[in-house]
Structure 1
């Protein structure tokens, strides 16, 4: 190494001083910058550039090793950039008011409205019915539904929604659920390429293009590429890919986990209820999807023969199996009441229904050597002994019939109890119970479902027609669903994934530091000559590959933040449109299906499908190569030149 003086003669250019002299450390103050010169030539980095690179290197190390949470790392990088003077406070905090962050906030709230109004539940029921029991047809329906739904809502939400649906379809068709879950996760990831708001990485890519002086991407700019990728994934999985899918049983069945969809409870038909006079079949159809009727009791006697045409009477008791949401819905349903609350509670009128809330519900797990084990629910005076009323029961295995009071408790059973908060708080210390847990549920606002769907559609249409920018359109939609009472303001704030928002804002600040210090220009000047002479197709293929590989250790948004500014500046020397290069990078970061670490959706299906690490590479590597080819070809047609 030789210590050499260099002077700048213009932006991005350097020349040696008139006389290159060996100097002692430290240099005189008048020297512009001091450089280390390796044998191959000078490495021209200014102190701010060196500091910026060190901060980025430390940030990447922490993200890869996961020693700290990703959002904490990103916020720490923002502080470091300001503390070292690389960015001013205004520049560093600009990411928190950036368009990607605002758009993501709107998308989170709109997604919450879709779930909170029961739209997601209805879609899930429809998909379950249509999917049938045949493997190929089930694959087609589940993959297509996951892809289309992920275009407008968070793909993790859709993957989580599809896991129980795929499990049900596999059980009906008597084939392994591992044949379905990986394609579902894949489709949910690929579906994000159908719109700009499908993944934060695309919003970041749009932001980078606008910062580079381009118009940016419209909400459907990536749709032609996304449609081609969805079609490719369907053909691949239905033909050669399905032979690569493992036939494997998961390590633990879905019933072995603490499920929330098998609670048993009793519903009382009140006097004057609108359900009185309905046939049993009509009642079951009306509440299909909200609860399943297991048994029907009248004056304590079960009605099981010829009951489809018999009419419901006041005082009838229905033993039903329901979700937590269904249990909460019963309190709001006119004419229905929880039997135990109506029988043993202080009142059975609307006042009791108003008291039925999250703060008065708890789950009690029966301990292995509990006094309650082997005793029927009716034999134990829960009201006087513990100050609570049993309103529901969850059991890992088995089918319950008859009155809930006659069910004999077993170790591991979970009771849903109703009572005063101070009584519930003390139950965790009782030796009869292994633990006491809050009963987490939400009340679905089903009557507002069409409002949520209409506002979501209006937000997309407004952004697509460019009446409003994408981030403004979705922020307006978020305000709209709150005003339409699809969810409360508190629920809207709770829907915000602050980790994601903080990470995106911090990552954008890192991208601003690269731009501010001139590192993007320097990197583009170094890398562009390496690709000079390559055909445009191969350039886009290489850029897609870079995004696909790096996203296996970083998130898709972080990959785009770090590489997109460099890629955008390489476009002009290579004679390509910046949109084509940045879009290829972003899609590579989102659509690469190589390991279970590449996307959180893969981790969501990893255990339920009984997968191994190599399963994802065996299935996904050929498909990722096809995605790279398709992306390059279609991008060149959409953006033919610089």
Structure 2
């Protein structure tokens, strides 16, 4: 037994390192751990692979499809915009309504999907009140996390925990099991975000803009521009051309065919065909190219396209889109050249912003990370769905988004019926949601191809693989072994202290690695410890469940990563705002859990 415990502990330690450092994509790391468990005989192949046939996989996949149906109809965005108009010109009322809407939608729709829709809306509202988005974006991210913890389907972590419980003789969660504790946290959390958070989020002078456009035009991008034959820069030194005197533009590097990259100096003579790597806000970059008759490198590539793919110069200059790279994006950890962004998806990468980092290489060879903000230019008429397909979040509302009323009603009825049937009958929620996903196609809300695009296969693979870790911690005896040591220590303390201990432990771990991986490790440990001490396990299960969703103190949570770049936050901002919210959640757990699940 001890040999298996040591072996599993080493594999678990390796997993924590892989998840924290993100050496490989999360799903690859999870698959690697699963294979190690099989190769070391901790799990049999059938035990390891059975996780992929788990109901949670079917449920989460079905939810992806139904959410895609809701998004396609424009229903969620329409409801948000309508209710925000009702809120009027009162800043705090509008802010409160926005947070409540996001929390409501996040309870039934994935946090990431809700936030992707809400970011452009929040930016637009901040503009109308003359405020920096920094005051709005972190609170809406936290609101989505608060809403998601209230239902079974609000977060995949709750679904995974629910699937683990029957292995210990406990019942699955129902749709609203977690809301007994989550609702008080949600109400208090929104009050905190509305009344207090704005004073904890520092805003520098550069953030104090009269409009969001001003704020976002101050964002610095790196771009490549080429010197053409008629440019006044040809055969002139950098000093003669006064390039060093350009207040809002920095020339970082000069690239000349056949030469290594050149650091610009005053006496360097510029020539036709040289490519300048420059930094500045997008408006100043556009003004700079016009002043010196330069061309963005990607624009020159576009002009080589066939005639039917060309558009007017005016259109090309106007149609710039700022988009945020999410963790699920196919661009994450890849270059624009590797994904054939221009040729396959008809988008030119014009510029890139990486918070706190200046890019010093050709844009096509820059490895793009989650949280980067890109300026892209469509080569053809923009298909709004292309951003969602690529895992990009536009930072401005797209005019092409349409509200399809009849389809929206059908999609809403299907979604509500699927959840209600699963909650109110004996039919498993996975079955009713799968039926809802099928109905989305039968009723022409989605086409079959959109189903495969809607499902985030990386997440399903990750969950299927990580569930094997939950089995292994039990079968290896590690959970019982650790619980034995913990029980010797915790048995001397009150149940409330034990509840707080597991909450704090889970919160600290989930700040560093994924919520799902944290839950898979902590749930078996909590249940075994409760049994060793002689307590009922459900109070500790609920403490771990709520804590796994309290990812407020670091930007590593995917939802927080969505706002980290656009908001211009620092790491310390999340600690400052998130710590108090986490402490409030801890108090709520200690006070409310025993009322619903006595020890």
Q: Do the structures match in fold with TM over 0.5?
A: yes
Is 1:624 aligned with 2:567?
no
* Residue in structure 1 matched with residue 510 of structure 2 by the alignment: 551
Alpha-carbon distance in structure 2 between the residues aligned to 1:145 and 1:384: 44
Alignment partner of 1:244 out of 183, 196, 200: 200
Q: Is the 8 A contact 1:110 1:477 kept in 2?
A: yes
Alignment partner of 1:450 out of 406, 409, 416: 409
Q: CA deviation at 1:138?
A: 2.4
Larger radius of gyration: 1
Is 1:190 aligned with 2:190?
no
Structure 1's 215 and 393: CA in aligned 2 closer, same or farther, altered over 3 A? Answer: same
Q: CA deviation at 1:253?
A: 4.0
Is 1:534 aligned with 2:493?
yes
Alignment of 1:304-323 (within 5 A): none
Structure 1's 50 and 165: CA in aligned 2 closer, same or farther, altered over 3 A? Answer: same
* Residue in structure 2 matched with residue 579 of structure 1 by the alignment: 538
Q: CA deviation at 1:373?
A: 8.5
Is 1:612 aligned with 2:570?
yes
Q: CA deviation at 1:52?
A: 2.1
Is 1:441 aligned with 2:441?
no
Is 1:639 aligned with 2:560?
no
* Residue in structure 1 matched with residue 40 of structure 2 by the alignment: 84
* Residue in structure 1 matched with residue 133 of structure 2 by the alignment: 177
Structure 1's 383 and 170: CA in aligned 2 closer, same or farther, altered over 3 A? Answer: same
- 1:330-375 per-residue CA deviation (whole Å, 9 max, x = no partner) reads xxxxxxxxxxxxxxxxxxxxxxxxxxxxxxxxxxx9994799989x
Structure 1's 532 and 50: CA in aligned 2 closer, same or farther, altered over 3 A? Answer: same
Q: CA deviation at 1:242?
A: 2.9
Q: CA deviation at 1:384?
A: 12
Structure 2 SS opposite 1:540: helix
Q: CA deviation at 1:486?
A: 1.2
Structure 2 SS opposite 1:60: helix
Alpha-carbon distance in structure 2 between the residues aligned to 1:525 and 1:557: 24
* Residue in structure 2 matched with residue 393 of structure 1 by the alignment: 315
Q: Is the 8 A contact 1:150 1:189 kept in 2?
A: yes
Q: Is the 8 A contact 1:253 1:608 kept in 2?
A: no
Structure 1's 77 and 425: CA in aligned 2 closer, same or farther, altered over 3 A? Answer: closer
- 1:410-432 per-residue CA deviation (whole Å, 9 max, x = no partner) reads xxxxxxxxxxx99x999x9xxxx
Alpha-carbon distance in structure 1 between the residues aligned to 2:463 and 2:305: 53
- 1:65-113 per-residue CA deviation (whole Å, 9 max, x = no partner) reads 1111110000111122222222111100111111222211111111111
* Residue in structure 1 matched with residue 424 of structure 2 by the alignment: 465
Q: Is the 8 A contact 2:519 2:548 kept in 1?
A: yes
Q: CA deviation at 1:233?
A: 0.7
Alpha-carbon distance in structure 2 between the residues aligned to 1:387 and 1:474: 44
Alpha-carbon distance in structure 2 between the residues aligned to 1:526 and 1:453: 50
Alpha-carbon distance in structure 1 between the residues aligned to 2:427 and 2:29: 33
Q: CA deviation at 1:548?
A: 0.7
Alignment of 1:52-91 (within 5 A): 52-91=8-47
Alpha-carbon distance in structure 1 between the residues aligned to 2:32 and 2:548: 24
Alpha-carbon distance in structure 2 between the residues aligned to 1:90 and 1:629: 42
Structure 2 SS opposite 1:196: coil
Q: CA deviation at 1:170?
A: 1.3
Q: Is the 8 A contact 2:114 2:144 kept in 1?
A: yes
* Residue in structure 2 matched with residue 168 of structure 1 by the alignment: 124
Unpaired runs of 5+ in structure 2? 209-213, 222-285, 296-302, 321-342, 351-375, 386-400
Cα RMSD for the two superposed structures: 3.3
What is the TM-score with the length of structure 2 in the denominator?
0.70
Structure 1 SS opposite 2:201: coil
Is 1:234 aligned with 2:179?
no
Q: CA deviation at 1:571?
A: 1.7
Unpaired runs of 5+ in structure 1? 1-43, 260-364, 375-381, 399-420, 429-433
Alpha-carbon distance in structure 2 between the residues aligned to 1:388 and 1:592: 45
The alignment of Structure 1 onto Structure 2 pairs a total of residues equal to 455
